[in-house]
Amino acid sequence: MKRRESRMPAKGPPFNDASGESSPDEKVKWEWRIFWPEKCPHEKKYKDFSFLDQKPDSIVTEEDRDTYIFREGSPLDIKLRSGDISYKQLVQEDHGLYGFTKKHHFQFPLPAGQLSFIPGFKRHGVVKDADSLRKLLKKNPHAAEAVLVTKDRRTADLSRRRPHHAHPEKATSEFATIEINGKRFQTLSIESSHPKWLKKLAEQVDTTGGYVMDYQGFLSFTAPETAAHSGAAAPVLART
C-alpha cells in the first residue's frame, strides 16, 4: 500500500510546533487520537477515564450519527451532525498530535456557494438539509466522499491550575464505540489548546494493538471507496 501523503496545506500561517507550552493563537486546538479494531484491550479504564492521573470535572454520555465528508489528502475535517455542518483545518502535525483551526459551523438550509469548502462540490441554489447534501455528494463522482459513523461516546472535561496563570488550562477526552459500514471500532481522543499537557495525558494511554492517527487518516483506510482507490480494505499501518 502506498504511503499516505501529509494533509498539511502547501502554505499557511506560521504556528509553533507542539513542544511549546501553549498555542500562540487561541484558535488552534491540538488533538491526539487512537483507534482499535473491534475492541480495545483496556476498555473499562478508558470508558470511565480512570487511566488518567486526575479525576474528570464532568462526564457526559451521548449517541450520535455523524457523517464525515473527506477527500484523502485534504487538510479539512468536515462533519455533518443533525442539522449542522462544520469544518476545521489541519495546520500542524507533530508526532501524533494534530493542530486544527477553530471549528466553523453552519446551519441548513444553506446557499450552495457557502459549501465551497467541500472538495469537488460545485452547485447552485440552496441545499435544504443534510440528507440533500449527502445525496448530491453521492451523485457527484468528483466530489468528496461522505461516510456515516454511528457513535456511542463518553466525554470527560479536564482542567488544571498552574502557578501564575489566571485561568485554568482545559482539555477534553472522549472514548467511543463506533460503527462504519457494519464494522465496529473503538477510539480514544484527547484535545487541548495546551500541547505540552496534551502530550503528558497521551502518555498515560496504553497504545498496544491500536493505530495512532487522526480521524480523516483512519477513514481513508476504512471507507470502502477510498480504500479501494488506495488498494487497502482495512487499516494496514503498523500498530503501536
CATH number at residue 118: 2.40.320
The CA distance from 212 to 97, in Å, is 9
12-21, 25-34, 151-160: range with highest mean pLDDT: 151-160
Q: How confident is the model at residue 17 (pLDDT cuts 50, 70, 90)?
A: very low
Rounded-to-integer distance, Cα 16 and Cα 55, Å: 30
Q: Is the omega angle on the peptide bond into residue 109 within 30 degrees of 0, that is, cis?
A: yes
Q: Are 28 and 95 in contact (CB under 8 A)?
A: no
Residue 7: what pLDDT?
Answer: 60
Q: Which domain holds residue 121?
A: 29-230
Q: Is residue 107 part of a domain?
A: yes
Within a domain: residue 214?
A: yes
* CA distance linking residue 80 with residue 86, whole number of Å: 7
Looking at the domain assignment, is residue 2 inside a domain? no
CB 210 within 8 A of CB 40: yes
- Contact by Cβ (8 Å): 39, 107: no
**pLDDT exceeds 70 at position 139:** yes
Residue 183 located in a structural domain: yes
Residue 15 domain-assigned (yes or no)? no
Listed residue (47, 37, 38) closest to 174, CA to CA = 47
Q: How far apart are CA 26 and CA 18, in angstroms?
A: 14
Euclidean distance between CA atoms 214 and 184, whole angstroms:
17
Q: Which residues contact 80 (CB under 8 A, 6 or more apart)?
A: 66, 67, 68, 69, 130, 133, 134, 146
Considering the domain boundaries, does residue 192 fall inside one? yes
Domain count, the chain: 1
Dihedral angle sign, alpha carbons of residues 36, 40, 42, 47: positive
Tell me if 101 sits within 8 A of 33, measured CB to CB: no
Q: What is the mean pLDDT of residues 136-158?
A: 93
Amino acid 16: pLDDT: 39
Q: Which helix (H) or strand (E) holds 107?
A: strand 104-107
Give the contacts of 167 (CB within 8 A, at least 6 positions apart).
Answer: none
Per residue, the 3-state secondary structure of 46-58, as one string, reads HHCCCCCCCCCCE
Per-residue model confidence as pLDDT tens digits over 155-173: 999 999 988 888 899 999 9
Query: In this structure, is residue 16 part of a structural domain?
Result: no
Give residue-wise pLDDT tens across range 176-228. Answer: 999 998 999 999 999 999 999 999 999 999 999 999 999 988 988 886 554 44
Classify residue 191: in a domain, yes or no.
yes
Q: In the beta sheet, which residues pair with residue 86?
A: 79, 105
What amino acid occupies position 59? I
